[in-house]
Structure 1
Amino acid sequence: MDIAYSEQAAVLLKGSFLSESRRIKDGNTLTKFKIHKGRLGVTRVGDLSAQDMKKIPTLALIELTALCDVLGFELKRNKAAKLKTTEKKLFGVPLNTLLENDQKLLPNTKVPLLLQALLSCLEKRGLETEGILRVSGSQTRIKSLEQKLERDFYTGLFRWDEVHQNDVSGLLKRFIRELPAPLLTAEYLPAFAAVQNIPDLKQRLQALNLLILILPEPNRNTLKALLEFLSKVVARENNNKMNLWNVSTVMAPNLFMHKGLPNKIPEGKEKQLAEGAADVVRMMIHYQDLLWTVSSFLVAQVRKLNESNSKRYQFCDKRIKNLLRKIHADKDKVEKNQAEPSKVVKVHASLLLKDTLEVHLNNATRVADVLRQFQKNLCQNGWNIVTTVNLLKCNNSTECTNLLLYEVGGNIGERCLDPDTYLLDLYHINPHAEWIIKQNPLYPRMF
Structure 2
Amino acid sequence: MAAGNDVDESPPVIFNPDFFVEKLRHESPDVFLELVLSNITRLIDLPGTEFAQLLGEDCPKTPTSGNGGFFRSFNFLKRKKGVVFGTTLTESCIAQIYQLIEFLSKLHVEGLFRVPGNSLRQHALKELLNGGADVDLEAGEFHPNDVASLLKTFLGELPEPLLTHRHFHVHLKIADMTLFDEKGNKTAVPNKERQIEALQLLFLLLPQANRSLLKLLLDLLYHTAKQQDKNKMSAYNLALMFAPHVLWPRHMTAGDLKDNLKNLNNSMAFLIKHSQKLFRAPVYLREYAKVHFNGTKVLQSKDDLELLAVSSSSSSSPAQRTAPALKRTAGPGCAVQEQSQSPAQQYTEEALKELFRHVHQNMPDSAKKKKLVRQLVKQTQSGTSSEDHLLPTAACKKHPRSRSFGGLIK
Q: TM-score, normalised by structure 2?
A: 0.58
Is it true that 1:239 corresponds to 2:221 in the alignment? no
Report SS of the residue matched to 1:112.
helix
Could you tell me how far apart the structure 1 residues matched to 2:194 and 2:349 are?
Answer: 40
Show the counterpart of 2:200.
209
Question: Do the aligned partners of 1:342 and 1:360 also contact (CA within 8 Å) in 2?
Answer: no
Could you tell me how far apart the structure 2 residues matched to 1:232 and 1:245 are?
Answer: 13
Show the counterpart of 1:251.
242
Is it true that 1:189 corresponds to 2:168 in the alignment? yes
Q: 2:37 aligns with which of 50, 61, 82?
A: 61
Could you tell me how far apart the structure 1 residues matched to 2:343 and 2:151 are?
Answer: 57
Show the counterpart of 1:359.
382
Is it true that 1:142 corresponds to 2:127 in the alignment? no
Could you tell me how far apart the structure 2 residues matched to 1:70 and 1:203 are?
Answer: 16
Alignment-mate amino acid for residue 238 of structure 1: D
Question: Do the aligned partners of 1:68 and 1:75 also contact (CA within 8 Å) in 2?
Answer: no
Q: Which range moves more in the overlay, 242-251 or 169-178?
A: 242-251
Which sections of structure 2, spanning at least 5 residues, go unmatched?
Answer: 1-14, 62-79, 180-190, 297-330, 332-336, 357-369, 399-406
Is it true that 1:113 corresponds to 2:95 in the alignment? yes
Report SS of the residue matched to 1:116.
helix
Is it true that 1:218 corresponds to 2:209 in the alignment? yes
Q: TM-score, normalised by structure 1?
A: 0.54
Structure 1 residues 91 and 63, CA gap change in structure 2 (3 angstroms): same
Instruction: Give the deviation of 1:300 after TM superposition.
Output: 4.1
Instruction: Give the deviation of 1:336 after TM superposition.
Output: 9.1
1:407-444 CA-partner distances (Å, limit 9, x unpaired): 99xxxx979xxxxxxxxxxxxxxxxxxxxxxxxx99xx
Instruction: Give the deviation of 1:256 after TM superposition.
Output: 2.4
Could you tell me how far apart the structure 1 residues matched to 2:344 and 2:206 are?
Answer: 42
Alignment-mate amino acid for residue 142 of structure 2: V
Equivalent residues in 2 for 1:62-77 (5 A)? 62-69=38-45, 77=53
Could you tell me how far apart the structure 1 residues matched to 2:231 and 2:20 are?
Answer: 32
Show the counterpart of 1:168.
147
1:175-228 CA-partner distances (Å, limit 9, x unpaired): 111011221112112322332122232222222222111111111111000001
Q: 1:290 aligns with which of 256, 277, 284?
A: 277
Alignment-mate amino acid for residue 205 of structure 2: I
Question: Do the aligned partners of 2:50 and 2:169 also contact (CA within 8 Å) in 1?
Answer: no
Show the counterpart of 1:43.
17
Identity of matched residues, % = 23
Which sections of structure 1, spanning at least 5 residues, go unmatched?
Answer: 1-40, 103-110, 310-327, 329-333, 369-403, 416-440, 443-447
1:229-287 CA-partner distances (Å, limit 9, x unpaired): 1111112111111111111121111212343xx42554xx6355222112111111111
Question: Do the aligned partners of 1:76 and 1:190 also contact (CA within 8 Å) in 2?
Answer: no
Could you tell me how far apart the structure 1 residues matched to 2:46 and 2:60 are?
Answer: 26
Alignment-mate amino acid for residue 229 of structure 2: N
Could you tell me how far apart the structure 2 residues matched to 1:407 and 1:119 are?
Answer: 26
Is it true that 1:299 corresponds to 2:320 in the alignment? no
Could you tell me how far apart the structure 2 residues matched to 1:71 and 1:160 are?
Answer: 50
Report SS of the residue matched to 1:128.
coil
Could you tell me how far apart the structure 2 residues matched to 1:339 and 1:188 are?
Answer: 38
Alignment-mate amino acid for residue 233 of structure 1: T
Q: Which has the higher strand share?
A: 1
1:39-86 CA-partner distances (Å, limit 9, x unpaired): xx99347973362584534422232123223999965836269xxxx7
Aligned residues: 289
Could you tell me how far apart the structure 1 residues matched to 2:38 and 2:208 are?
Answer: 18
Larger RCO (CA within 8 A; separation ≥ 6): 2
